[in-house]
Amino acid sequence: MASDFRPGSFQILPVIIKNLLIINGLVWLAQISVGKSLFSFENLFALHHPKSEFYHFWQIITYMFLHSPSDFFHLLFNMFGLWMFGSTLENLWGPGRFLVFYLICGFVAGLAHMGAITWEMVQVQHAAMAEQLNPEPYLRQVANVPMMGASGGVMGVLAAFAYTFPNDRLFIFPIPFPIKVKWAILGLVAFDLFNGLTGRDPSVAHFAHLGGAAAGIILVMIWNKRNRRTFY
């Protein structure tokens, strides 16, 4: 990846990125090791809607450190993206600012997801009432679906990187030529928006991705208001 950014003390694995990788990896190992023999990691720490019986207030933070215990690639791709793009931002901003940025993006992503679930529950309730059915079982089913993963925070990192280094180029399989980062992130946002609005691939929290990206771009625009780069 080409870049005109050459900090004086660039670290391949800066401290916050390193610790986030370690924490996410250890939590995933705990998820697959403990399973449900003692307690459910997902019920306690994955994000549930406030109307769920499994909801706890701390889940708006803890969910971003869990990943699907049956899908290693869920963890792998999130951590690779976090390292690939987050390392540069942490070197640029420093560990304190990067950690605050990442947690805020994940927090907003969680709020966006809960907003999307609330809207879905309203639609379910209207449909059930139109059919003269009791909506409570359906609402409970929707509310109890957990959301987990670092994708929202990572999308914030990608958005911030695209704003800060818009003309860096990436090779993205299977595209046979390099593409500028700014077009790659816009493509990802369009993909999530389309799938979120159409209900395709419901196993992915598309609106969490969009919320994280929105938080990331807003934060970096505020922080860079005195040192704006040209996106175009």
Query: So what's the pLDDT on residue 167?
Result: 84
Q: Residue 181: pLDDT band by 50, 70, 90 thresholds?
A: confident
Q: Residue 169: pLDDT band by 50, 70, 90 thresholds?
A: confident
Query: So what's the pLDDT on residue 5?
Result: 43
Q: Residue 3: pLDDT band by 50, 70, 90 thresholds?
A: very low
What mean pLDDT is predicted for residues 171-188?
80
Share of the chain above pLDDT 70, in %: 88
**38-42, 62-66, 139-143, 222-226: which has the highest mean pLDDT?**
62-66
Closest CA to 86 of 105, 109, 68, 70: 105
* Cβ neighbours for 203, distance < 8 A, ≥ 6 positions apart: none
Cα(58)–Cα(110) distance, rounded to whole angstroms? Answer: 11
Closest CA to 109 of 230, 202, 222, 217: 217
Q: Is the pLDDT of residue 23 over 90?
A: yes
Q: Is the pLDDT of residue 36 over 90?
A: no
- Look at the pTM and tell me if it is higher than 0.85: yes
Closest CA to 154 of 99, 85, 96: 85
Q: Residue 115: pLDDT band by 50, 70, 90 thresholds?
A: very high
Q: Residue 227: pLDDT band by 50, 70, 90 thresholds?
A: low
- Paired residues of 47 in beta bridges: 147
Query: So what's the pLDDT on residue 203?
Result: 82
Q: Residue 232: pLDDT band by 50, 70, 90 thresholds?
A: very low
Which of 97 and 40 is assigned the larger pLDDT?
A: 97
Q: Residue 58: pLDDT band by 50, 70, 90 thresholds?
A: very high
What are the tokens at 229?
Answer: 């780069």
Determine contact, residues 73/11, Cβ cutoff 8 Å: no
| CATH architecture classification, 15-223 | Up-down Bundle (1.20)
